[in-house]
């Protein structure tokens, strides 16, 4: 889907795709144009990798499934704006396994093209990914700038450069301004300066939990409880009685009937630990479906 990238990003995308094609095992697919936060996360989480830009999350996951990349790095949640839309649906459907996590502080800048006289603004609209717009909601509101969604942050910067309209701005990483020839209007426009995004690394094959022995591990899974009274309460009981720390539990609806609720969960530990095995066995007894998405090294202490 190269044609979907803004023109200023295309040359860089083609070069990065060619490098990844020559050594796909080292390639890490990410959603967004060059300069996106996910591009930076790929380089920090996997030093020496070959970042592979993809237009959508689905494209990044497909690149791993097709063998064009050894791994993909996907943002899953943000400390300020919550979970990334659609990710909880895409991860189970992808058939890939979570093999790592990475936490990255996020900062955004407002950037634009200067007017012919060199001045900047005022701005009518600002383009960015919905997550970045949500993280900068108060900043934009206070300045009367209308937020408009774009596929990714760096792509928004490339689009503003392509559009050539000084009244249009982008919210994107500072790196994107350098790549696409924009001027930084204001740095750190995110509403909270402890802004953190959690990324997960995905691969075709899961890690063997035995390889995590002696390290603090995380296990992620999705489940659907039986449609009986107190099913969720009973399903959760095994984690309490076995002393297993559940750090995340979120629900989302499957389909349009609102009759089936799926839960996404993270726990500290991995299968092979007797307490984890007992808790998961009890959970499975109360479930219509239980699917482990992966066990992996903890990227940051919880609590």
Is 197 a known active-site residue? yes
| Longest CA pairwise span in the chain (Å) | 70
SS (H, E, C) 29-62: EEECCCCCHHHHHHHHHCCCCEEEEECCHHHHHH
How far is 294 from 92, CA to CA, in rounded Å?
10
Decide: 291 and 222 in contact? Cβ < 8 Å. yes
Among residues 30, 123, 197, 239, which one is catalytic? 197
Decide: 13 and 34 in contact? Cβ < 8 Å. yes
Per-residue b or e along 165-196, where b marks 16 or more CB atoms closer than 10 Å to that residue's CB = ebebbbbbbebbbebbebeebeeebbbeeebe
The total of other beta-carbon atoms located within 10 Å of residue 300's CB is 11
In terms of Cβ atoms closer than 10 Å to its own Cβ (0-12, 13-18, 19+), residue 100 is: buried
Is 199 a known active-site residue? yes
How far is 255 from 274, CA to CA, in rounded Å?
35
Instruction: Using the structure block, give the residue that is written with the tokens 């060199």.
Output: 118
Among residues 199, 221, 239, 263, which one is catalytic? 199
How far is 248 from 222, CA to CA, in rounded Å?
11
**Active-site residues: which are they?**
197, 199
């Amino acid at each position: 889907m190269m044609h979907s990238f803004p023109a200023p990003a295309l040359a860089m995308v083609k070069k990065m795709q060619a490098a990844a094609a020559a050594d796909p095992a080292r390639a890490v697919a990410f959603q967004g144009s060059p300069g996106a936060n996910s591009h930076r996360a790929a380089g920090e989480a996997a030093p020496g990798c070959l970042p592979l830009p993809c237009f959508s999350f689905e494209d990044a996951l497909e690149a791993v499934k097709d063998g064009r990349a050894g791994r993909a790095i996907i943002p899953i949640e943000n400390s300020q704006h919550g979970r990334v839309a659609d990710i909880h649906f895409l991860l189970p459907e992808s058939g890939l396994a979570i093999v790592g996590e990475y936490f990255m502080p996020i900062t955004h800048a407002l950037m634009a093209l200067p007017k012919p006289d060199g001045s900047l603004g005022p701005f009518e609209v600002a383009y960015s990914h919905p997550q970045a717009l949500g993280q900068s909601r108060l900043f934009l509101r206070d300045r009367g700038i209308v937020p408009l969604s774009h596929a990714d942050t760096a792509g928004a910067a490339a689009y503003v450069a392509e559009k050539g309209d000084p009244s249009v701005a982008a919210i994107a990483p500072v790196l994107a301004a350098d790549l696409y020839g924009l001027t930084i209007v204001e740095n750190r426009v995110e509403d909270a300066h402890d802004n953190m995004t959690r990324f997960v690394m995905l691969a075709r094959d899961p890690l063997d939990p035995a390889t995590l022995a002696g390290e603090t591990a995380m296990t992620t899974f999705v489940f659907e409880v039986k449609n009986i009274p107190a099913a969720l309460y009973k399903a959760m009981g095994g984690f309490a009685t076995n002393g297993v720390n559940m750090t995340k539990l979120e629900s989302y609806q499957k389909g349009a009937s609102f009759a089936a609720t799926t839960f996404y969960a993270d726990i500290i530990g991995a299968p092979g630990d007797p307490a984890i095995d007992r808790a998961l066995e009890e959970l499975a007894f109360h479930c219509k479906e239980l699917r482990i998405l992966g066990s992996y090294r903890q990227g940051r202490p919880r609590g």
